[in-house]
Amino acid sequence: MKIRTLLFAGLTGLVLIGGVRMTVNAATDPNVIEAKSADENAFPHRGQLREIFAKLKQNFSEFREQTPLSKEQKGKIASILKANRQEIKAQLTEGAQARRALDASVEQSSADSPASQTAAERIGESAEKRALLIARLSTEIKPILTPEQAKRLKGAKEEIQSSVDDFLNSLAN
């Protein structure tokens, strides 16, 4: 269960670094998105975002079903994650604190204030660290997978990234 949660959180973080901030809970509970904004006009792309999370969850479930890990693979991956647990927790905490600091700064002053700029830079630094951590963990985990498992994981990741790209492009239009 912990491996699934960490891999799901890692994959979610990786594909959503482009600026969409949602919790992993939103992927499993669409009401979380609704609770954030009861006014449809406040976030008109909510349905599209919900679809991305649904696809993310579906792809992850399909990957698990179609590409089961052996007991040995699970053990090796668990060891990697356990060895990096403190760094993973620290990174998740740092990212959450950076997002909260920006929210607080914008609420107290404005998005253009020096404090908001500094807080936004902290988010960027945190995202950079998260991306590098995920890349490092991926390079440790990838050799554990069979070529077929690695191929399926790559395909699922590309499909999710494509959905996120489409969503972000729709926001720009």
Q: What is the mean pLDDT of residues 156-167?
A: 81
> Is the pLDDT score of 22 beyond 90?
no
Q: What is the pLDDT of residues 114-149, one digit of tens each?
A: 999 999 999 999 999 999 999 999 999 999 999 988
Q: What is the pLDDT of residues 2-14, one digit of tens each?
A: 444 444 444 444 4
Location of structure tokens 């590409």: 67
Single pTM value for the model: 0.61
Contact status, residue 9 vs residue 24, Cβ threshold 8 Å: yes
pLDDT of residue 35: 40
pLDDT of residue 76: 94
pLDDT of residue 130: 92
Q: What is the pLDDT of residues 32-73, one digit of tens each?
A: 444 444 444 445 566 777 777 777 777 777 777 877 889 999
pLDDT of residue 113: 93
